[in-house]
Structure 1
Amino acid sequence: MTTTMRAAVVTAFGDADVIQLQHLPTPTPGPGEVLVDVRLTDLIFVETAIRAGQHGGFFDVTPPYVPGNSFGGVVRAVGDGVSADWIGKTVTGRTPSFGAHAEQAVAAAEDLHEVPAGLTLETAVAVSGDGYTALMLEELAPGLAGKQVLITAAAGGMGILLVQLAHRAGAHVIAAARGQAKLDLVKAHHADGVLDYSQPGWEKAVLEATNGAGADITFEGAGGSLGATAFTVAADSSWFSAHGAPSGDFAAYDESEAERRGITVKGIRDLRVDTTTTTVSAAEVLARAAQGDLVPVIDRIYPLEQLADAHRAMTSRELVGKALIRVS
């Protein structure tokens, strides 16, 4: 008898209303795979952009599809070649592409990691996506100690982690976000200076904080015109990561100017698992979270049937920190 599961389905590219809860056949794990009863899933901004039909050149997906990638749950069954010892373990993992926003998900056994003792499933899932990317950026960037580091979208799920990592590394952290609540949050996480980039001329504050030199390292998570402005206050011979696009697109910059000024620019392809040169592992992410290096800020946990509401909250910049989805 075929069993079914509840799953959130993006039925077409469009606004959040295209997300519908449906009953789909429960997947079966193949060789080297496991079937997980999903408890919690992560939600990151790029998923809302993909749902809207953006970034087709980076993510190959066609509706209808089940969104979501990072999950936490309990292993229900294993495929051929996988030890039955996995069954019943509480784990985090990643689906091969999408499919995590469902009651059951299939993943490669090699992509599973048991949640360390003392780490809640909420924390483990909250760092599994953003923490992975944050550690990749930490590894790609030059040494942070003693550097002037500008972090935009600093109050987002990943921005907060980058603030923490840069602070622990000994950088002077300049955190840019929108609104007093978000500025208070990043200040509480040890940003040395905060500025509201919804205010005109915010970039002047970056120059003031760096004695007119600009930022040595920029973690640019805002994209669009904000990201383009951040590029104008990057110091000569600096390092600039244009990895965020919540404004609709990644930061625009003049490649000839970057070359002339000796600025090293990294883009989204440098952060994709299949194209990156970093050696970060999911096990390292969980270990760093367990030792307190990565402390996610979880604003809200939405039930699966309210995934569309979570998308709306994220795109309207309501969240202070990040959102998770409780599946079961």
Structure 2
Amino acid sequence: MRAIVMDEFGGPEVLRARTVEDPVPGQGQVLVRVEFASITFVETQVRAGKGPFAPPSLPRIPGNGVGGTIVAVGEGVDEGLVGTVVVTTTGGTGGYASLARASAADVVPVPEGVALRDAVALLADGRTAVMLHEQAKIQPGERVLVLAAGGGVGGLLMQLAAAAGAEVVGAARGKRELVERFGSYVDYSEQGWARSVEADVVFDGVGGAVGTEAMTALRPGGRASMYGMASGSWSEVDGLPITVLERPGPPSPEELR
């Protein structure tokens, strides 16, 4: 099969197409004929050998999210899955290829009427947004502040919060027209922007100085969830009257694989 293989870390030029052996599904696995493979920000960090985690071993076929048709199954897997159009994670490697292995427990059949390309685009950001939304337990009438509202996870969080009956404020630097489709807009590059917002819930995918300032917008007893940390961790949140919904640290290499 054809696959993209990286033998070194660096820019996109380290991704090279070559012919490799077809993978064979093992116990509990399926084999997917790949039509679309997703690319996330984290995967570009892995490719570059940077990020808050140890670089994986090389050589490797990158790719953690794919969409396509199941063409074979391994031992212990229902053969009726063959022919099913699915999206799935691969465990962190093997997605940039004609064929990819995945755990049968991870595959999600694509509903009728949903384009496969759209389903793959939603796979990574969608599961992150749903997890954060469920964790926050948003109540109708609450005000929710979403940072990086013009991005993939941020845009989905705005929609989920609005569907839950919340008043939604999207903080971004640009993309105003997009953000205002789902709520009100505030420019977080402006001095003192957070003073205009009082929020019960903050979703922060930015971190750094912007995320730290966003914490000042929280009402007493508010909830905050940090994810992504694109600009670094919060610097001054000790003593604020908030409950922080935060994972204990960056994902391990095993989680990314």
TM-score range, shorter chain: 0.7 to 0.9
TM superposition shift of 1:84: 1.9
1:107 aligns with 2:91: no
- What corresponds to 1:279 in structure 2? none
- What corresponds to 1:196 in structure 2? 187
TM superposition shift of 1:71: 1.3
Task: Give the TM-score normalised by structure 1.
Answer: 0.70
Cα-to-partner distance string for 1:139-159 (whole Å, 9 max, x where unaligned): 110324222211111111111
Cα-to-partner distance string for 1:76-132 (whole Å, 9 max, x where unaligned): 111112222111111111112322121111011121122111222122212222111
Change (3 A) 1:231 1:142: same
Change (3 A) 1:54 1:223: farther
Identity of aligned residues (%): 39
- What corresponds to 1:8 in structure 2? 4
CA contact (8 A) 1:142 1:239 kept: no
Partner of 2:111, secondary structure, is: coil
Partner of 1:207, secondary structure, is: helix
Change (3 A) 1:29 1:107: same
- What corresponds to 1:236 in structure 2? 220
Larger helix share, 1 or 2: 1
- What corresponds to 2:121 in structure 1? 126
- What corresponds to 1:314 in structure 2? none
CA contact (8 A) 2:52 2:250 kept: no
Distance (Å, rounded) in 1 between the aligned partners of 2:140 and 2:91: 36
- What corresponds to 1:183 in structure 2? 176
CA contact (8 A) 2:138 2:161 kept: no
In structure 1, stretches of 5+ residues that fail to align are 274-328
For 1:206, give the aligned amino acid. Answer: A
Q: Which residues in structure 2 correspond to 1:130-209 (within 5 Å)?
A: 130-179=125-174, 182-188=175-181, 190-191=182-183, 193-197=184-188, 199-201=189-191, 204-209=192-197
Partner of 2:63, secondary structure, is: coil
Partner of 2:20, secondary structure, is: strand
CA contact (8 A) 2:222 2:243 kept: yes
TM superposition shift of 1:184: 0.6
Change (3 A) 1:68 1:228: farther
Length, aligned pairs only: 253
Distance (Å, rounded) in 2 between the aligned partners of 1:235 and 1:271: 27
More deviation, 264-273/166-175: 264-273
Distance (Å, rounded) in 1 between the aligned partners of 2:133 and 2:217: 20
Partner of 2:200, secondary structure, is: strand
- What corresponds to 1:116 in structure 2? 111
- What corresponds to 2:81 in structure 1? 86
1:54 aligns with 2:50: yes
Partner of 1:261, secondary structure, is: coil
TM superposition shift of 1:271: 9.7
2:65 to 45, 70, 75: 70
CA contact (8 A) 1:46 1:245 kept: no
CA contact (8 A) 2:46 2:55 kept: no
Partner of 1:25, secondary structure, is: coil
Task: Give the TM-score normalised by structure 2.
Answer: 0.88
Change (3 A) 1:231 1:124: same
CA contact (8 A) 1:174 1:206 kept: no
For 2:47, give the aligned amino acid. Answer: R
Change (3 A) 1:51 1:224: farther
1:266 aligns with 2:240: no
Distance (Å, rounded) in 1 between the aligned partners of 2:161 and 2:201: 10
CA contact (8 A) 2:138 2:166 kept: no
TM superposition shift of 1:261: 2.4
- What corresponds to 1:42 in structure 2? 38
Distance (Å, rounded) in 1 between the aligned partners of 2:41 and 2:114: 24
